[in-house]
Structure 1
Amino acid sequence: MTQTRYDVLAIGNAIVDVISDADDAFIAAQSLNKGGMTLIDADRARTLYDAMGPGREISGGSAANTLAGLARLGHKTAFIGQVAQDQLGDVFAHDIRATGIDFDVPARPGQPPTALCLILVTPDAQRTMNTFLGASQYLPAQLIDPELIQSAAILYLEGYLWDPEEPRAAMRTAIDLARAAGRKVALTLSDAFVISRHGPDFVAEMDAGRIDILFANEVEITALAGTDDFEAAVAMMAAKVPLLVCTRGEHGAIAVQGAERVEVPAEPVSRLVDTTGAGDLFAAGVFAGLAQRRSLKDCLTMGAVCAAEVISHYGARPEADIAKLVRERLGADAAN
């Protein structure tokens, strides 16, 4: 096996988030799916944007957020995603490169524009996401560079991007290349709506031994397993992948690796502001722990620390020194 250049290479949606405060009355008046993610078209994006209050523009996208966390933890990463030749595309490319993530995919000319996610945060810190996928859903397989795929220890796939046909084909090409190179493949399920459309695809990939690490939350894992019984869902899916990581919000997280099962509680948060990116940053902590060859418990703890930081402020990317927070937290554990 050749030497790797990156700890994680991710393929995902290249999105710019616009985050705005809203109350439950606004959510109801706009007929939004509170706490969930809804795909919208360009017309709906314009209408909703016009109705929103003042917004904060922050580069996002689930997998890109995870890489941003990994970069802040000192790990080398790269991203594959499609933006358009427009202002938001320039914003996304600048932000991701400034974070220390390698990103070399050329911008796509013409329409549609760069993807946009309109996020409404209610006083209970729930985030309601409304996503116009734009150019991100036109990532062609020919932009998947075999040498780039082979250069990463882990290929990380964003479930959201499995929905459009063109990037789904690109991701399957990337899986083929990663497996041929002896690399690990990780998948995040992203959202229950993705599972409702592509659950059988994901299960088939797992049954074929093409997924090594599966990230899910409680809603997603039960949806994928087709049962309301969380423990039954965990047992079913853990049997299909070498490593299953499942978050449970305020109830912490679990991981199952073969016969080993580990659980950690959620980290305390002094002020819950915005849950956007909690799962993304949890994955960042886990990936960092895996790259550092830490115990499964340490990996989950690192994930919990990163998630706690990102939900304490607006936006899905860390603001504090999460590497320091992780060191302090693991050091405290070692001292006990």
Structure 2
Amino acid sequence: MSQSRSHDVFGVGNALVDTVVFVEDDFIREHNLNKAAMTLADSEKQATILQALGKHSLELKSGGSAANTMIGVARCGGTGFYTGKVASDPNGEFYRMDLLKAGIRFDIHPEPETAGATGTCVVMTTPDAERTMYTHLGVSVQLTERDIDVERIASSRFVYVEGYLWDAEDPRRACIKTLQEARRLGTKASFTFSDPFLVNRYRADLHGMVRDLCDVVFMNEEEAKSFTEIPDLQRTLDYLKNLKPKFFVTAGKHGAYVVEDGNVYSVPGYPVEAIDTNGAGDNFAAGVLYGLSHGYSSQAAARLGNYVASEIVQVKGARMEKDLNGKAMEILRG
């Protein structure tokens, strides 16, 4: 990796303020929510859910999949930029300050309040540690190609783009531009699938993008099976061996698989008692990106990814709050 690149990761994704809450399974059933998945909603429907949660303890956190990853990179000791669209409202300012405090540059021009509100997500975690998300994207869907800073891509070792951008036309174009510019500038391009429903909806497009624009792809088991249309995990991994990028496939408590150069490697996880799986995949990607951007092997990077993911599932919320710098290097060095 070029030593002239001053930052580790340039991240692009939906900028969302999370309302984090623990609920019983009965709440999920009563409100016909799609458990353990992300559902898009308008502001009125989301407000109805928030009203129903009135007697619960709610906690506000800045969120968004790729932003969670960028915070994780910073907690490992890395540096980076983040691009996502917020509004000139209190949530937008909260979001900007939260990222800056974590050490991630976020200085994109906010949209005026007349254009809409900053995106929000209600993150409901049940006793089995699964999280169900009810999301109003707000102005995050107004992210465009013009928001992508090419100079910052050139100064970064990796770009990292979240799959949730694929669901709206302008953010999808911003996503593609980021990956194309990375390829042109010699910056490594990474992409995360984000959710099985996105893979099912855009499978053909994603196959083309993975083939033409990606160096590294992140997915969980269900996303991998949806992508390959193969229900068996081992056969899915064998299929991925024939494709060009490196694949990192997370497998929950079993750790992760690394697929590269026609080989599949199993990297064991760290046994912990999970209380909230929100952000596990995002933080796995953070550990991997930090490891790869500092020249470590894919297996060493996956080992760190598993560790960072194991840390986040033991706490409430999707953001890493403590610094892992010394521990990160210890794990990478084996």
Which residue, 258, 282, 288 being the options, matches 1:280? 282
User: Structure 2: which amino acid aligns with 1:43?
Assistant: E
**Which residue of 2 is the match for residue 112 of structure 1?**
116
2:139 maps to 1:103: no
- What SS does structure 2 have at the residue aligned with 1:276? coil
Q: What SS does structure 2 have at the residue aligned with 1:263?
A: strand
Offset at residue 178 of structure 1 (A): 1.2
The equivalent residue for 1:173 is 177
| Matches of 1:156 and 1:131, distance apart in 2 | 21
Whole-angstrom distance in 2 between the partners of 1:3 and 1:326: 23
Among 125, 128, 147, the alignment partner of 1:124 is 128
Distance 1:260 1:130 in 2: 38
Please report how far the alpha carbon of residue 328 of structure 1 lies from its aligned counterpart in structure 2 after TM superposition: 4.9
2:7 alignment partner in structure 1? 6
**CA deviation digits over 1:228-258, x for unaligned, max 9?**
0212222223322331100010121010110
Q: SS state of the match for residue 115, structure 2?
A: coil
TM-score by length of 1: 0.94
User: 1:278-336: CA deviations, max 9, x gaps?
Assistant: 000000111111122222221111001100110101111112332344345457xx4xx
Q: Check whether the contact 1:65–1:281 (CA below 8 A) recurs between aligned residues.
A: yes
Percent same amino acid among aligned pairs?
37
Corresponding residue of 1:265:
268
Q: Is the 8 A contact 2:19 2:121 kept in 1?
A: yes
Indicate the residue corresponding to 1:295 in structure 2.
Answer: 297
SS class of match (1:92) = helix
Structure 1 equivalent of residue 242 of structure 2: 239
Structure 1, unaligned runs of 5 or more: none
In structure 2, the residue matched to 1:153 is 157
1:120-179 Cα shifts (integer Å, max 9, x gaps): 111111111111111111101112122122221111110011111111111112222111
Q: Distance in 1 between matches of 2:51 and 2:28?
A: 14
Aligned residues: 330
Q: Which residue of 2 aligns with 1:189?
A: 193
**Whole-angstrom CA distance in 1 between matches of 2:176 and 2:236:** 25
Question: What does residue 199 of structure 1 align with?
Answer: 203
1:73-88 equivalent positions in 2, closer than 5 A: 73-88=76-91
SS at match of 1:9: strand
44, 62, 65: which one aligns with 1:62:
65
Q: Residue 316 of structure 1 aligns to a residue in which SS?
A: coil
Gaps of 5+ in 2: none
Distance 2:311 2:60 in 1: 19
255-264 vs 123-132, which deviates more? 255-264
Q: In 1, are the aligned partners of 2:300 and 2:331 still within 8 Å (CA)? A: no
